Structure 1
Amino acid sequence: MRVRSLLPALAFTVLLGLAGCAAAPHRGAAPGGSVSSGSDSSGSGSGGAGSASAAGNGAGAPAAVPASLTFTATTLDGKRFDGTSLAGHPVVLWFWAPWCATCASEAQTLPDLATEYKGKVEIVGVAGMGQVKEMHQFVSDFDLGRMTHLSDDAGVVWKKFGVTEQSVYVLLDRRGKVVAKGWLDNQQIGDQMAKLAAA
């Protein structure tokens, strides 16, 4: 009688264990063990999802790393920069050149935007078409030190995002999908960053 009374409890425990195993893949794992971003993150230079990043997405879970952010570069300070560190965050990539008058005009607005959206939208300058010394001078002249700037004189990041001229903004949402690309005036970039932060 005692064995018979334990059988229903044992069966219930086994069912709970099976249900838990079945629910595990819904955390974003795709067949084959890779992590899915939940959408096609393709755009200029982007593709499917990659591996998980150690950077959090604000919810305590690892962010999926889309192909758009799988790049490495060197900052103007000579440090290694890993694009996967941006996973899970809205991102503005600003492609500029130190001799560009339009870039100089934009540079007068970006420091304020970087302060306003700190912790909400990541802004990364991608400098090219110039000497490193000139790039440093540009950053100093316009007080752009609050932003990370990459020295992309070889054009690796420019090519990845299909950028062929300055000044160009590439905006990516939290999933790494390119949602806007091109020239934006100071009002438009502010509006776009507000949308990215709210999404």
Structure 2
Amino acid sequence: MRPRTLIPSTVAAALLVLTGCGANGGSDSAGDAGAVTPSTASSPAQPPAGSDGSGTGTGGAKVPAALDFTATTVDGKPFDAKTLAGKPTVLWFWAPWCPKCKAQAAETAKVAADNQGKANVVGVAGLDTNASMKDFVNDTGTASFPHLSDEKGEVWKRFKVTEQSRYVILDKDGTTVYEGVLPAGKDLAGKVAGLTG
């Protein structure tokens, strides 16, 4: 196992992460996650990164505070979360070495494809190197949607995520409507359909 660099404020979170990513399921409660880890990827379906500073996202939607951040994809491209405003958004927090995350990949990619244009899906990778994040995206076939490289845990902290294989689902107004683990992505499609239908 390769060494991982953690920032001091995430040491306790890392211990939770390491114990929480076994092969057997995990917590499904909405109250035990936050934002502290990485993200990865770029996507052909992703609107161009960048902001005009107007406080509006794609299509003129007002940008909620939750989406007022920038990051870099695993491919090294700039990513502006303001482009997500106005549509429901799934943030999938994962780590490259996590078997539960790998088990969620296929269903997450399917939900992204099935909801293209209606909802956003963004991976937020952490707890490892960018090279490992890129390998995970390639190995799991999830390159069709953007993945943020959050090696410093800034996006994870923003959403108070303390362990990988967690979903944070925001409605079109940027309000968190679900936070937790969905083993193998089960019911992710239903949760998104409830926001897009």
Match of 1:174? Answer: 172
Match of 1:154? Answer: 152
Would you tell me which structure has more strand in proportion to its own residues?
Answer: 1
Distance 2:77 2:117 in 1: 21
1:52 aligns with 2:51: no
Higher relative contact order (CA 8 A, sep 6+): 2
| Structure 1 counterpart of 2:174, one-letter code | G
Task: Write the mapping of 1:188-199 to structure 2, written as runs, cut at 5 A.
Answer: 188-198=187-197
CA contact (8 A) 2:71 2:79 kept: yes
Q: TM-score, normalised by structure 1?
A: 0.70
Gap regions ≥5 residues in structure 2 = 1-33, 36-52
| Structure 2 counterpart of 1:163, one-letter code | V
Distance 1:159 1:168 in 2: 13
How much has 1:54 moved relative to structure 2? 4.5
Q: Which has the larger radius of gyration?
A: 1
Distance 1:187 1:153 in 2: 27
Aligned-residue sequence identity (percent) comes to: 47
CA contact (8 A) 2:57 2:84 kept: no
| Structure 1 counterpart of 2:71, one-letter code | A
The RMSD of aligned alpha carbons is: 1.6
Aligned residue pair count: 146
SS at match of 2:82: helix
| Structure 2 counterpart of 1:190, one-letter code | A
Match of 1:17? Answer: none
Q: Which moved more, 1:137-146 or 1:177-186?
A: 177-186
Task: Write the mapping of 1:5-16 to structure 2, written as runs, cut at 5 A.
Answer: none
Deviation string 1:48-104 (CA, Å, 9 cap, x unpaired) is: xx9631411xxxxx2111100011100011111111111101100000000000000
SS at match of 1:53: coil
How much has 1:188 moved relative to structure 2? 1.6
Distance 1:193 1:109 in 2: 12
Q: Which runs of 4+ in 1 moved over 2 A?
A: none
Gap regions ≥5 residues in structure 1 = 1-43, 57-61
Distance 1:54 1:131 in 2: 30
Deviation string 1:30-50 (CA, Å, 9 cap, x unpaired) is: xxxxxxxxxxxxxx78xxxx9
CA contact (8 A) 1:51 1:64 kept: no
Match of 2:123? Answer: 125
